[in-house]
Copies of this chain bind each other. A is one copy, B any other.
Amino acid sequence: MSHRVTMRDVARAVGVSPMTVSRALRDDETVNAKTRHKIRQVANDLGYVYDTTAQAFRTQKSGFVAVTLPSINNANFAETFRGLSEGLGQSGMQLLLGSTNYQVDKEEELVRQLLTRNPEAIVLTGGHHTDETRALLSARNLPVIEIWDLPAAPLGHVVGFSNASAMAKVVTHLAEKGRYRLGFVGASENTDLRGASRRAGVIAAAAELGLPDVTIIDAGSAPVSMRHGAQAVSDLGDAVSELDALVCVSDPVAFGALSECRRRGLKVPSDIAVTGFGNFEVASVSDPRITTVGVTAREIGMQVAALLDDLFAGEAGDLPRIVDVGSRLVPGETS
């Protein structure tokens, strides 16, 4: 197999220097229009393909933005990724995606791996990281954006919302409906950290309102999904009758819980209320519609893209930007 076609080859064929080819291909106006045209044509004829790797190497700019998600198989995170991806379309940046499987150790390994690609910015889902991850990131002069949370001690920029205050809205809503005895259905402690924030939010809000202690219902280790919600209700058995509402960590979990309630002949919401989180499609299509919390997953991605645009354009100012996209209660028919 013959050697690959480089700018050199194009230059030789046209009778100019490689520099001129480089300029021409970038549509540099200082290159004679005719020459530019000729170069483009010859490049095409020779089957020249631009080498981004060489460019990244020479300029020390990879054109990558690294992104970590807890799971790619999650409609909310996928929407965030999509928003980011679409919003970044203009800037020519490419996303380098990795999934942590909800584990901070895995995140550390992933960050280490992603950093070897010299990303120009890194987007981390969540605000919990290992010390080593923090060290790795602060050793570099790299914009860091944490999303889907409002960390107490951010690494840099933030685009997220308060999981605790979102849950407070749910608890308040339930209390107003006369639902006092709450069960929280989520992953075991210490695996899903966003889930843990939500649980803490429920407990705090219930205490604040003087409700009885929240019953914690362990649905297994993260990621918890529909089947875990169903299993949790099934495991509860008759104990479910001592609760007024099942506050679930996410809509899939809530849907699983709702389905299992139905199977067991429980009427929702008359026998028990069920709430979710995330305003997934299933919440609004399910019959009955599930009461949930709307989070603007897609907008988080778009806000991040906007922030990155500003950062790359040098228009972001010096201070870390903290964007709270908020959340809102979306009442359904299950409460």
Contact = CB atoms under 8 A, between A and B. Distances in A.
Given A53-B117, A57-B53, A252 B281 contact: yes
Interface residues of A, number: 52
6 contacts: A1-B141, A50-B116, A53-B118, A72-B81, A73-B78, A259-B287
A81 B97 CA distance: 11
A259 B285 contact: yes
Nearest to A95: B97
A81 B71 CA distance: 11
A62 B95 CA distance: 16
A78 B263 CA distance: 29
A51 interface: yes
Interface of A: 1, 47, 49-54, 56-57, 62, 72-73, 75, 78-79, 81-82, 85, 94-97, 99, 112-113, 115-118, 136, 139-141, 225-227, 229-230, 252, 255-256, 259-260, 262-263, 281-282, 284-287
A95 B99 CA distance: 11
Contacts of A53: 53, 56-57, 62, 117-118
Query: Which 10 A-B residue pairs are closest in the complex by CB-CB distance?
Result: A73-B78, A226-B285, A52-B116, A57-B57, A259-B287, A47-B139, A226-B281, A262-B287, A72-B78, A50-B116
B94 A113 contact: yes
Given A82-B73, A82-B99, A118 B51 contact: yes
Q: Which of A51, A116, A140 has the most CB of B within 10 A?
A: A116
A255 B285 CA distance: 8
A255 B227 contact: no
Contacts of A75: 73
A207 B112 CA distance: 56
A285 B78 contact: no
> What number of copies of this chain does the assembly contain?
2
Contacts of A256: 285
Nearest to A227: B285
Contacts of A117: 52-53, 94
Given A49-B115, A230-B285, A259-B285, 6 more contacts: A49-B140, A53-B62, A53-B117, A73-B79, A225-B281, A260-B287
Contacts of A96: 94, 96
A185 to B, nearest CB: 14
Nearest to A262: B287
A281 B228 CA distance: 11
A136 to B, nearest CB: 8
Contacts of A118: 51-53
Given A73-B82, A79-B73, A281-B227, A49 B116 contact: yes
